[in-house]
Amino acid sequence: MEASVEQLVYVREDEYTVARMSAEDVPAFVASGRALAGVQPGETVRLAGGWGEHPRHGRHFAVTGCERVVPATVRAIRIYLGSGLVRGIGPRLAHAIVDHFGEATLTVIDTEPERLREVVNIGPARQSQITEAWRDQKAIAELMVVLQGFGISPLLASKIYQVFGTDSGEVLASDPYRLIGRVRGIAFPTADRIALRSGVPESSPQRIEAAVLDRLEAAAAGGGHCYLPLLAVLTQTVELTGQDEDLVRRAVDALAAERRVVVEASPDDAGRTVVFGKEIHSRELALTAHLTRLWKARSTLPVRAFQEDPGLHDDQRAAVTTVLANTVSVLTGGPGCGKSHTVRAIAATVRAAGGTVTLTAPTGKAAKRLSELTGMPAMTVHRMLAHEPDPDSGALFEQTPAQADLIVVDEASMLDLHLATRLTAAVPSGSHLLLVGDDDQLPSIGPGSVLADLLRVEEIARVRLTHVFRQSEGSGIIRAAHLIRAGEVPEPRGGGGFWFEEIDDPEQVAERVVHLATVAIPRKQGVGPEQVQVLCPMRKGATGTAELGRMLQERLNPAAEGRAEHWSGASAFRVGDRVMPIRNNYDKGVFNGETGRITAVVPEERRLEVLIDDGETVTYGFDELDELTHAYAISVHRSQGSEYPFVVAPIVAEAGGVMLRRRLLYTLVTRARSWVVLVGRREALELAVHRLGRRRRTALAHRLTLSLQGWDAPAEGPR
């Protein structure tokens, strides 16, 4: 039967979809099944399946097949156009258009779009917008059919079209491997399925080369690695393609000859050969060059010493002296060791001597926290790099912030290779660069391990603060963090802010986490649920970010009559939702790790608006929503640089607990300001404390050591 999709009720990660439907001569009903994947409200579909009883929805239609069709009746056309699927048409305008053209409406839009101007309130600009949106919608629908023919999720159609536009069909037909790395959600297996079904030979050099590049990209995206040993590349590519190792070796050689990869000796002097992706290799070289330039430069700082501050501990005084004496330095230490107070003393010394200081951090929350702790203005690294001086603004500096005499980067463990390269490139020679961070925390989300690598270079000046100032306050969080750091399991009832609640079953753990976050902690502490953040070691499973986020959204911001929402994949975006950008978008001025709240969902314009915590309102098109994720439950990695009053987290060993590592647990616990409550199995907690993660494969420390050791300093020295 043919039916119109009225509303999506539920979409699971495996694309199982539940939707409310309407059809001619059939009462409104609920349909469900994976065959519904990708349907949107307003579409007309031809369903195959059968009627049955659902424990929650009652009589429903179990879908085994679903085909999109062009709406044929006036009612179906009105629903289609009024749903917002065609940008520029809302419910009122849809009624007006259909009232004017009747069953011929879609034919008119398709073949005689200029006739739309016969309808009141449609001028040339609106008619052009509707025509373009109609063309795009048709193209995406055609792509969906093509993808379904390859056995590929139709949800990828709009993402492919967003990147390749009208060339999408040609890319699928001639070179589907171009999709890898450019379309979010498409890795080698998906592109390979399309290619093989299109007739590309399994032994094709094009196929083998794509697999090699995919393995390097997966190592960077999944593990933060800058390179892979050649043997690992060969082994993984053979497993991925089922082809002989000789073919893979030839593919690596061809890619190296084309300079798409770089093959060189291992940086750890183990006699091995390693393979870099071209872009990451270039960034490592550039970062090495910029750090070397800054390290060699003669200081322009107008001060060389500071007056003794009786409020500083010995290692803090050593830190101030070190930073003043070196153009590149690192300040590290655990929680409660006075890093922020030390930064304040350093900055005050420089300013007292007439120098300029810029305080920065990788995320907005980290910058705000740095400002609160030091009592000085701070900004994100991204905003510092994008800043243009304005002589009429009353700004603190006459020059750009990146040209200050001292630049401090807090939460430096979050710096990935890309951001660190942009940062150091902007700092002028002679300025002092101070990286501040806790090297026991998780490394950056992106590839590289910049802070840890610099600490491996003996020539880079560093001070590690070890005296714990907040120990006397009886902070259970601080005590637990230092125990975890030392490889010891904290007491379950640590008091003073740390609490572990033991529950075995993962589903019961999930229910308890949601109850704590939405009811128990807000009630006991007298705060709103927005003061409680759920952090997860994993994304999938009963206690992963996806499922816990869905449960929290249903408790805190459920679907409601009259409240606009839009489904993108398995996520429903509603007014009031807490969201987080997961990619830097320099055009929008938003960056990974910031948070905000959805203030408007506008279906007819296919967009939503997000009020970022810093007060800026940002617009996202419906085709850009893979850049947003809900922030009800977030990964520990994405919480870096942030601090929350209350943190609740599941600690279970689902899927072997592959993500449970000491650094992850340490980072999780130190995100809480007042209380952190862990819920799960004691064995999982012990596993996390005792399991050490592997170091990322990077060559920065090796390159920088060679660069700095090979330099002959002038007699008077640079600093």
Give the torsion through C-alpha atoms of 277, 278, 279, 282, to 10 deg.
Answer: 120
d(CA 204, CA 579) in angstroms, rounded, equals: 43
3-state DSSP assignment of residue 335: coil
3-state DSSP assignment of residue 689: helix
> CB count, 10 Å around CB of 390?
8
For 37, the token pair is 């994947």
| Residue with the two structure tokens 């509707």 | 130
Q: Which residues of 43-68 are buried (b: 16+ CB within 10 A; e: fewer)?
A: bbbebebeeeeeeebeebbebeebeb
Flag whether 339 is marked binding.
yes
d(CA 532, CA 524) in angstroms, rounded, equals: 12
Q: Is the distance from CB of 127 to CB of 117 less than 8 angstroms?
A: yes
Burial of 693 per CB tally in 10 Å (0-12, 13-18, 19+): middle
Q: Is the distance from CB of 568 to CB of 626 less than 8 angstroms?
A: yes
Q: What are phi and psi of 87, to 5 degrees?
A: -55, 135
3-state helix, strand, coil in the chain (%, to 5): 45, 20, 35
Q: Is the distance from CB of 158 to CB of 623 less than 8 angstroms?
A: yes
Q: Is the distance from CB of 131 to CB of 111 less than 8 angstroms?
A: no
Flag whether 337 is marked binding.
yes
User: 3-state SS of 60-77?
Assistant: EEEEEEEEEECCCCHHHH
Q: Which amino acid does the sequence have at 326?
A: N
For 244, the token pair is 């002989």
Q: Phi-psi region for residue 625, left (φ > 0), alpha (ψ -120 to 50) or beta? A: alpha
d(CA 266, CA 9) in angstroms, rounded, equals: 53
d(CA 129, CA 604) in angstroms, rounded, equals: 11
The string of DSSP codes covering 38-62 is T--TT-EEEEEEEEEEETTTEEEEE
Flag whether 340 is marked binding.
yes
Residues pairing with 45 in the sheet: 3, 68
Distances (CA, A) of 478 to 217, 457, 470, 483: 37, 29, 8, 9
Q: Which residues are annotated as a binding site for ATP?
A: 336-340
Residue ranges at the known binding site? 336-340
